[in-house]
Chains A and B, each alone.
Chain A
């Protein structure tokens, strides 16, 4: 999928897992997250957004999401679909099955 070397702290990256487009995020402090790759607003690729701390701002129209939880910040009535993530050694892998 990707290695820790390719996804530094503060980085976002889009990967495909089976039929799913997934965004990988390496949050400040070292935690990893995987969410749906397309913005729930108008399907912009979330990985092209801006990560400031834990908050991702979509490049489309500025919707904001807390990537620690997936919860929408603005607007706060939506959330990102998470995907299970596993790290073995340097290797990051994501399961394309929605939990």
Chain B
């Protein structure tokens, strides 16, 4: 039998579609789940994924990837590699597993929603592969840390984190509910695949894989690059979707969805990647600063996309660019201070050599954040560790759920007022860390109004006893699970 090349049969098989006779189009694609009704049924047929893959090729590729990655893991897990990893790097991977494993699995729900409620057969086909990808990512990222349990019991936070009310878990869960679990197909394509995956995670996974190899963590490196290859394929669903919207006169809606999620993605990134790149990754393995990474990769990529699709930079672009110099430094300080509330060991990352690097990458760091660390260093040196723990909960933003750190913004010259932004909706007061977070809320308050931040829960008596012990128990952290300084304060003693 002659072998047809993919291009000879692909479109025909891919575009196989139904004509509905017993049900209405609306009943099959309810707007709440589809989000596609702005554009007519015929117009959606123009949806075309740039990179094509057949089911046979997909399965073949995935089997190969799994075989390679799992056999590498088997080979390595019998060695001492994990014991010898830098303590900061161990925190990078523990934080990653806890914050990312379950969202990957949940992303299969988002992909499946597009696979069912996307309006073009081509789109549903591409999303079907995406759903399979995300199931794989959930499983493989649960299995790898399972292998760490003997050496690091908190590897189980890969599964556990999302089933607790840990503050990071609350933040990540609220974000991903907004982005894909409780979202419609069109919005998922724009917000998950176009904004988060194409714009941020794809690039970050590339960098993380390279860092992992550099620090000698071949297992994690192989895992991350294997995942990234899938991500790169299913992330392409955003492009054709935004193109259909724009070609049919709905650029404004696309722009809104992207503006909304770009900010939220930035917040999550500052927390997870910002700390990892600038404080946890060992100095000798840092190829670029977090700021350089965002500028050279994320901004460049978005600038190209905005240009290609005639989109505008989000209205808060200046504020975003200014934040690159200070926001994640402030969050790092809070996370380190509140280290017992996270399931990894935050690495202060402020040894003399690291401080020099920080000052070089972020001129002025010594004057703003360095001063704060001077005080902490002094307390550690004089044995006054108790003084390095805070007593009160920082206020949390009702959108990003992260601590409100505007005071640090004032120090850095980015804000004039340290007070949180306030907004009253249906009699309830909401607090925000920034104009964009407030904007996200006020554009669609019904979407967010019912949610309680960790501080709201504290103030309404859900956390008892209302003290640090009560908070830690509420967050699911038994004593051995609570984070400690990653290097036992080596940085404070000149090390």
Contacts and interface: CB of A to CB of B under 8 A. Distances in A.
Interface residues of B, number: 12
Contact of B61 (A42, A60, A62, A74): A62
Interface string A41-71: 1100000000000000000111100000000
B51 A42 contact: no
Contacts of A76: 50
A50 to B, nearest CB: 13
Interface in A3-57: 41-42
Contacts of B233: 61
B52 A60 contact: no
A74 B7 CA distance: 10
Interface string B190-208: 0000000000001100100
Interface in B175-226: 202-203, 206
A75 B229 contact: no
Given A42-B202, A42-B206, A60 B51 contact: no
B50 A77 contact: yes
A42 B326 CA distance: 28
Contacts of B53: 62
Contact of A60 (B6, B50, B203, B229): B229
A56 B233 CA distance: 18
Q: Find the residue from B51, B61, B202, B229 having the highest chain A CB count within 10 A.
A: B51
Interface string B134-167: 0000000000000000000000000000000000
A61 B52 contact: no
A81 to B, nearest CB: 15
A42 B50 contact: no
B50 A61 contact: no
Given A62-B61, A75-B50, 7 more contacts: A41-B232, A42-B203, A60-B232, A61-B233, A74-B52, A75-B52, A77-B50
Interface of A: 41-42, 60-63, 74-77
24 contacts: A41-B232, A42-B202, A42-B203, A42-B206, A42-B232, A60-B229, A60-B232, A61-B51, A61-B229, A61-B232, A61-B233, A62-B51, A62-B53, A62-B61, A62-B229, A63-B51, A74-B6, A74-B51, A74-B52, A75-B50, A75-B51, A75-B52, A76-B50, A77-B50
